[in-house]
Structure formats: structure tokens, C-alpha cells
């Protein structure tokens, strides 16, 4: 019997690069939240693996062993057909592929499959936090996950349509030894309080990503001046950027305004949790 699974977009509200291990892995300190928007998977057990694609961002997604969903299924000892409806742009800094693989692993765990403890992290730094799929602090190389209480955050996600290679952005970092977030993340009274605190944090990948994809500058500029924006920042390694607002209505209004000027951009009003 087929299983329907939702894979939410992952948003890095902050992303501090705090070091680099001798094996080349970067150390991170990131506050992550998840949107009520994402990809959809349908899992149909069978004797052979197959990935079928649909959705606005299906083009260019691998349908073989290169796909993280395929790797996750193999690592968990599952086979069958996966129908993947790609609603999220890829190479966008919002964890699309990682969230897809994490959603599959969560579904298999719910069906009684024993997921090897080292499997998620072996597939990528974002897999452990994407398996949590709720607001969390991600540290180390992605293996340290601490749940965080956040208010629901109305937000606008904007991607100008220029995929950014994560490896290239990390390679262009000028400093890999940066300060982490404060030791304790406070409990926030409301959205404005949360946005003010986040304004004191950073995304250390924003600089090299903006150099690689100058369109990010325009996105961040448009978000910063949109009516009611409390904070604007890039997510992950880009090129998707976000702004926070006091209400979802304000986010939708900003989506309309920016979308009118840039009809070719991917623009979505969401709630982050």
C-alpha cells in the first residue's frame, strides 16, 4: 500500500560557520525552522527501486543512485517506487533533497524499519535536522540537534532562479573560525522579539554566495524594503532568501508587490515552525 509523505522546506534562520575539522567537514551553529511548504513523496514498496518525478522543479533531478532518496532507501534496506513531486527549487539552500530523503527515512521508521544510526549524517549534514522537521539548533557537522521553542513565524521565501553550488560557497569562505551563536537561545515573547534576536546573528555563507550569484543582492534588497519586514536574510548556501513579518497577511502582501516586479522569481508566503 502506498504511503504519502511531506518533505518541508528547511530554512536556516542563522548559520554560523565556527570551524573546520581535519577531515574537511565544517563545524556549524545554525537555528533552523521548517515551512508549511515542501515536496510530496508517494512510497510504493516493490522489488526494484525507481523514482518517478513530477512538479515544477522535476527537471534536472536525478532518477538513479545519485538521488538522496534512492541512497536513503538503499541504506534502510527498502525498495520500491518513489513518486517525487518537486515543489521546491533545487540548489536553493532550503534542503530540498535532504528533506526528501529524511521524510522517506521517517516514514520507513514509522513502518518498523530499523534505520542505521549513522545513515542520516552519512547522507549529508542537513539530514539529521530534516528528520526532526521542527525548529532546532544544529551544531557540530550536523549531528547535534537540540529542539528550540519558536513562535510561528510568518515569512516570505524568494529565489531568483539561480542555483548555487554549496561546495563552491564553502570554498570561497574567507574565515572558517567565526563566533557561534550565544550559548542559550532565549524563549521569545513574540515574532518581533525573535526577529530582533535573529538580527544579531548571521549567515556566514551569505557573502560568498552573493559574490557567486549577484541576484541575491537584489532579492535581499527587495525583501529589506518590503512593507512590514522585520528581518531579511539568505537561507543556507543560497540562493533562497527570506523575510519575517508580524502577520501572514503582510507576507502575502509583500509577495504580491515583489512578484509584480519580478514575475520570474519563485516567491512563496509561508509559516515557519
Question: What are the catalytic residues?
Answer: 10, 126
User: Please, what's the largest Cα pairwise distance for the chain?
Assistant: 53
Distance separating alpha carbons of residues 153 and 14, to the nearest angstrom = 14
Residue 11 · residue 98 · CB < 8 Å = no
Distance separating alpha carbons of residues 177 and 166, to the nearest angstrom = 18
Pairing of strands 144-147, 136-140: antiparallel
Amino acid at each position: 500500500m502506498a504511503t504519502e509523505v511531506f518533505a518541508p522546506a528547511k530554512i536556516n534562520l542563522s548559520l554560523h560557520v565556527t570551524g573546520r575539522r581535519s577531515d574537511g567537514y565544517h563545524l556549524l551553529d545554525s537555528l533552523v525552522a521548517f515551512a508549511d511548504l515542501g515536496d510530496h513523496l508517494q512510497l510504493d514498496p516493490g522489488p526494484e527501486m525507481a523514482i518517478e518525478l513530477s512538479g515544477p522543479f522535476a527537471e534536472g533531478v536525478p532518477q538513479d543512485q545519485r538521488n538522496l532518496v534512492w541512497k536513503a532507501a538503499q541504506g534502510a534496506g527498502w525498495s520500491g517506487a518513489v513518486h517525487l513531486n518537486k515543489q521546491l527549487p533545487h540548489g536553493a539552500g532550503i534542503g530540498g533533497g535532504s528533506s526528501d530523503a529524511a521524510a522517506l527515512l521517517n516514514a520507513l521508521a514509522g513502518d518498523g524499519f530499523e534505520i542505521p544510526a549513522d545513515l542520516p549524517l552519512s547522507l549529508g549534514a542537513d539530514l539529521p535536522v530534516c528528520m526532526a522537521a521542527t525548529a532546532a539548533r544544529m551544531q557540530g557537522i550536523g549531528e547535534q540537534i537540540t529542539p528550540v521553542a519558536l513562535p510561528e513565524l510568518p515569512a516570505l521565501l524568494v529565489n531568483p532562479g539561480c542555483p548555487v553550488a554549496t561546495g563552491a560557497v564553502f570554498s570561497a569562505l574567507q574565515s572558517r573560525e567565526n563566533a557561534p551563536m550565544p550559548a542559550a537561545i532565549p524563549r521569545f515573547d513574540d515574532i518581533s522579539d525573535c526577529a530582533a534576536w535573529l538580527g544579531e546573528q548571521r549567515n556566514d555563507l551569505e557573502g560568498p554566495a552573493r559574490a557567486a550569484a549577484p541576484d541575491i543582492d537584489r532579492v535581499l534588497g527587495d525583501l529589506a524594503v518590503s512593507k512590514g519586514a522585520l528581518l531579511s536574510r539568505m537561507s543556507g548556501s543560497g540562493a533562497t532568501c527570506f523575510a519575517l513579518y508580524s502577520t501572514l497577511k503582510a507576507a502575502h502582501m509583500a509577495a504580491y508587490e515583489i512578484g509584480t516586479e519580478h514575475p520570474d522569481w519563485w516567491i512563496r508566503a509561508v509559516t515557519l515552525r
